[in-house]
A and B are shown apart, each in its own frame.
Chain A
Amino acid sequence: MNEIELLAPAGDLERLKWALLYGADAVYIGGRDFSLRANATNFSIDEIEEAVKFAHNLKKKVYVTVNIVFHNNDYSGLENYIKALEKCKVDAVIVSDIGAIDIIKKISPKMELHISTQSSTMNYKTALFYKKLGVKRIVLARECNKNEIKNIIDKAKIDTECFIHGAMCVGVSGKCVLSNYMTNRDSNRGGCSQICRWDFDLYANDEKLENETKFTMCSKDLSMARYIKDMIDIGVKSFKIEGRMRSIYYIATVVHTYRKIIDEVLSSKGNYKFNKNYETILNRVANRESVPQFFDKSPGVEEQYYLGRQELSNQDFLGIVLDYDEKKDIAIIEQRNYFKIGDEVEIFGPNKETISFKINSIIDEDNNIIDVARHPRQIVKINVPVKVCKNDIMRIKIF
């Protein structure tokens, strides 16, 4: 495995497999309890065991989030859960609560500990504290800029993990309980109802500011694509993608894109040049604009979303390759969005260059020639001039 780690989210086993197949070195997942995405599908212990086996067979890793802010009664079951995770041979747990850290160290002294971004570590003194506590890695706060990240790495000499892509909390992690107070859903225990994406009336004293654009705190997403080289240069160890509840298409596309960027940086031998097309791919898959946020500056109005933000349904994802007949150049595709004869499409997959072509024939399961694949999950055959593989993805041609 590379010293640089690409770390992907996985909300369930299917997503986990796609993330690892598409180039992640490790995945982070949540169990049914103790995880900050309480309403994601999440993993049972049996599924965690299967996930770890799958990952370890590929010489990859699985980290499990145990990162809620515990209330007194939340500790019930934690000891057994940690023992079970140890038995599953998970590679690390991601924690924020110091009481939980204490228990984990007693129950499973060899368990690798990563400090969650929920702890909002922004300085090297805090990093030194955690290091002395036996922590192996810190997921730094998203609010750290380049100099701060470098200084923390240089002075604390501890493994650091930084978010590189996905949705942002507009508040400092752990310091926002809007959800608790406005919806009674506990943001620090995985129930966040994303109040920061709501529109509000803003008042100056008693005067309501009348404007067609309502006040919102909603920020654009994070994308560090163009700064991956800088991050590698300053010593960031793990590059984390957000989004345990995202689709397989999103995960495959984002992981695949960052895999290519990281590999290009590592193999560049000093001649690296960022390919801007990657940003276009990343922006399209999320349907939301993504920007570097705090790394290069203090975010301002350009990093916020107001009226007119576009969150259109993405229909780029056309299908998944189920099989390929090399003799006939025919791919069997499971349809995911409408496509038709004449469409310009491309297929990408792990460890291959993206190929582009025009669809010139579609045959359904009954061997009928059809013009359009219009039914969700419809199985069709199309002519593909270059060899493709099972689990490759077909999408609309982007460039």
Chain B
Amino acid sequence: MSKISLMINNINELKLDVESIIIGIKKFNNLNMLELTIDQLKKINIDKEIFVSINKPIHDSEIEELTDILLSLDNINISGVLFDDISVYQICKEKKLNLNLIWSNIHQTTNYNSINVWNKLGVKSVFISPDITLKEIIDIKNNSKSSVFVPIYGMFDIFTSNRFLISNYLKYIHESKRNTKYYIENNNIKYPIYENENGTHIINGNVLNGLDEVIELFDNNIDYLVINSYMIDNIDKVIDNFNSVKKMYLNKNIDKDKINKLSTELNSSNKGFLYKETIYKVKSDENE
């Protein structure tokens, strides 16, 4: 049965009713979630699976620090490490660490061939890209032996730069940076944009809501349904509703109208790419 995994953004969210938690490692995480140091991580004592995210492109100058972090994590009781940069895998192999690695190159985990190659290399889990269709997600699950994490609710990262784009702009227009949230707007959607020590990140401003799809995901033995709490005011409600659907499924008492109502309560009908394929070849007259 699928577990619900929460990318937390606040330490208080540890107590929410989910089976699994994802937390970023300070300085080495690229995705939008709470980041903790190794020492802070050690102090967490909860009866849930804890996955940590080392999800940034790693610069050569960071290899030593990364190695120390991985060695520390190997001695902590965590359920796994989500990684983007292959150096994480390489260091774990060289140091013979027993960490459960989850391939999590968020925009490139888009096909089962690659996932199966990683599986043969010992990486038995994958965080699926939010940029692909529901059919592609299910095909991946049905054609690979890996356990899969599927982003199903929330706002996910859509851009990473090593440049400090907000600071650069504010400097150019002679304004000071404020201690506030920044957004860029396109087509009436406001996309959160923020800087951390690694550069600039942009988050999809349109909340993905896949609650209507979870029955199909349960049917196809998806291992983890991932919810990101970033800027979600009613995260308790979101989790309650996902758990309600899960309970229905377990009780074999599926009521599609009720699921639809629960979904509507979450104030987003955005299905992301679940039913929409991206295009990459355009007609010549569209490509000026």
Contact = CB atoms under 8 A, between A and B. Distances in A.
B41 interface: no
Given A102-B113, A177-B107, A215 B158 contact: no
A39 B282 contact: yes
A75 B278 contact: no
Contacts of B204: 181
B273 interface: yes
Among B116, B143, B159, B172, the most chain A Cβ lie within 10 Å of the Cβ of: B159
A171 B200 CA distance: 9
A123 B62 CA distance: 8
A200 B160 contact: no
A9 to B, nearest CB: 17
A147 B114 CA distance: 31
A126 B160 contact: no
A185 B283 CA distance: 12
Nearest to B59: A122
B114 to A, nearest CB: 4
Contacts of B168: 300-301, 304
B251 interface: no
A213 interface: yes
Contacts of A69: 107-108, 110
Contacts, number: 217
A125 B278 contact: no
A131 to B, nearest CB: 10
Given A97-B111, A184-B276, A190-B280, A203 B185 contact: yes
B113 A213 contact: no
A294 B60 CA distance: 14
B85 A201 contact: no
B136 interface: yes
B275 interface: no
Given A69-B108, A103-B113, A170 B165 contact: yes
B254 interface: no
Given A71-B132, A178-B202, A294-B162, A124 B278 contact: no
Contacts of A39: 281-282, 287
B175 interface: yes
A204 interface: yes
Interface residues of B, number: 73
B112 interface: yes
Interface in A201-246: 201-205, 209, 211, 213, 215-217, 219
Contacts of A152: 60
Interface residues of A, number: 73
Contact of B140 (A72, A74, A182, A186): A72
Contacts of B190: 203
A147 B165 CA distance: 24
Interface in B179-199: 180-187, 190, 193, 199
Interface stretch (B5-13, B86-94, B209-217, B261-269): B86-94
Interface in A226-285: none
A188 B160 contact: no
Contact of A300 (B60, B164, B175, B273): B164
Nearest to A32: B281
Interface of B: 30, 57-63, 85-87, 89-91, 94, 105-108, 110-118, 131-132, 136, 139-140, 143, 158-166, 168-169, 171-173, 175, 178, 180-187, 190, 193, 199-200, 202, 204, 206, 273, 276, 278-282, 287
22 contacts: A71-B132, A72-B112, A96-B108, A102-B113, A123-B87, A124-B63, A125-B58, A126-B85, A129-B86, A172-B160, A175-B57, A175-B107, A176-B161, A177-B159, A180-B278, A188-B107, A200-B185, A202-B182, A202-B183, A204-B180, A215-B169, A294-B162
Q: Shortest 8 CB-CB distances between A and B: which pairs?
A: A99-B113, A191-B280, A99-B114, A125-B87, A186-B278, A175-B160, A148-B60, A189-B280
